[in-house]
A = this chain, B = another copy of it.
């Protein structure tokens, strides 16, 4: 997260200078990784603990650059009443080798300046307490200062970067697909409609800002298909919206989707290969970039689920592929009783998805070739008999169920006739076999971290009856 332009070059230059020189500002992460002791160092951050002994004052400072705190060792004379848990401080001094096993470096303070005090009585986070996720969710403006949420947000940032890199490295053009749209991609769930606040106040016979009713996007697929007809490989990574009235731990009104579209596909396998590569590449990057942050989740947030071992299995083995037909057979032969009876022609429910994943050995499972009547118009007709299917694929993962959904798109004009004119145009002027998929980014984070509630893997959750901040 901290690059070549960090403070280290400056520090090396400075280490040999006389002390009176201006101190070099270091992030906590840089200080912890320093190879050599150095004087004239300045670290800024928030106090995570204060321990005052007779001979020495210990502080732990965190500035969000890492999960680990920097230990500050000071003379007790530097203590002052504003130096409390949560206060913001600037410490100047000498970076020295630490005698403690837990850290390589510590800061021997020469001065401690309290930049901003913190009323610990009214501050909802308490020193050394492991607050439940439900509790800190009430404080959208302060929960990022807890260990769990700050780890989560660093992981989210690294995962975002890793996903962008994956696509850029593989020759995909990134497209900002629009948020406001005049069509409703696939009739997927309830939509949010947009009006100017002026329109919203009026009632009958309105003229719309965009002349037509406008909605928040539910998917960038149509816009990506446009672009795949020019760039061959494209992706988008942005917010999508559902107005579903749900308080469940699986749904949000605003969430992030990674979507890709590929022209000149030869089979569904092309799409599935990208899904698998994306998952494995991004996850390996996250694991190597923030092992401590991921470790916190695997150790404290999802220990019973054995997320760590399961994740290693997922990364090591090839994902499994079964057809929808096979899936229904497996479910029918299951000893388990389902709330919804499995039957050919019916959609798979979460209980079914979880069973299939378990049946296949707790690894990710591609289910392919769904019934024609279950899926939207744009999916490619397999023209098979007796059971009519389309070239659709869902990726099911342990603990979550559906993580990605994709399909080959119907590129043949006659199959699409009587549909949207612009969608048809794309098939008229140099149409090519293509396909794509979407991956729910929050579900991805839940999957690799074992986080149970989707509200804990997004900075500011929006759901029915709640739009805090």
Contact = CB atoms under 8 A, between A and B. Distances in A.
Contacts of A197: 190-193, 213, 215, 243
Give the size category of A's interface with B: 35 or more
Contact of A431 (B116, B177, B215, B243): B116
Interface in A171-211: 171, 173-183, 190-200, 203-204, 209-211
A433 interface: yes
A303 B469 CA distance: 46
Nearest to A255: B176
A365 to B, nearest CB: 25
B194 A232 contact: no
B264 A168 contact: no
Contacts of A3: 168-171
Q: For A245, A422, A459, which residue has the most chain B Cβ atoms within 10 angstroms? A: A459
Tallying the copies of this chain within the complex gives 2
Nearest to A144: B230
A371 interface: no
A195 B195 contact: yes
Interface in A244-297: 245, 253-254, 256, 263-264
Contact of A177 (B181, B231, B459): B459
A182 B239 contact: no
B195 A174 contact: no
Contacts of A179: 179, 216, 239, 241, 254
Interface in A398-432: 411, 422, 425-432
Interface in A421-469: 422, 425-433, 458-460, 462, 464-469
A44 interface: yes
A86 interface: yes
Interface in A42-82: 44-47, 63-65
A232 B88 contact: no
A154 interface: yes
A14 interface: no
A32 interface: no
Given A116-B430, A116-B432, A171-B2, A191 B180 contact: no
Contacts of A122: 428
A432 B462 CA distance: 28
A328 interface: no
Contacts of A214: 467
A304 interface: no
B264 A44 contact: yes
A179 B458 CA distance: 12
Given A264-B44, A429-B118, A431-B116, A253 B27 contact: no
A34 interface: no
A64 B232 contact: yes
A327 to B, nearest CB: 31
Contacts of A466: 210-211
B462 A178 contact: yes
Nearest to A222: B469
Interface string A216-249: 1000001100110111100000110101010000
Interface stretch (A102-110, A155-163, A385-393): A155-163
25 contacts: A2-B170, A3-B169, A4-B169, A5-B170, A88-B431, A90-B264, A115-B432, A115-B433, A141-B422, A142-B226, A153-B175, A153-B227, A153-B230, A161-B164, A161-B168, A164-B164, A178-B462, A180-B253, A191-B196, A193-B196, A194-B216, A196-B243, A197-B213, A197-B243, A210-B465
Interface of A: 1-6, 25, 27, 29, 44-47, 63-65, 86-88, 90, 115-119, 122-123, 140-142, 144-145, 150, 153-154, 156-157, 160-161, 164, 168-171, 173-183, 190-200, 203-204, 209-216, 222-223, 226-227, 229-232, 238-239, 241, 243, 245, 253-254, 256, 263-264, 411, 422, 425-433, 458-460, 462, 464-469
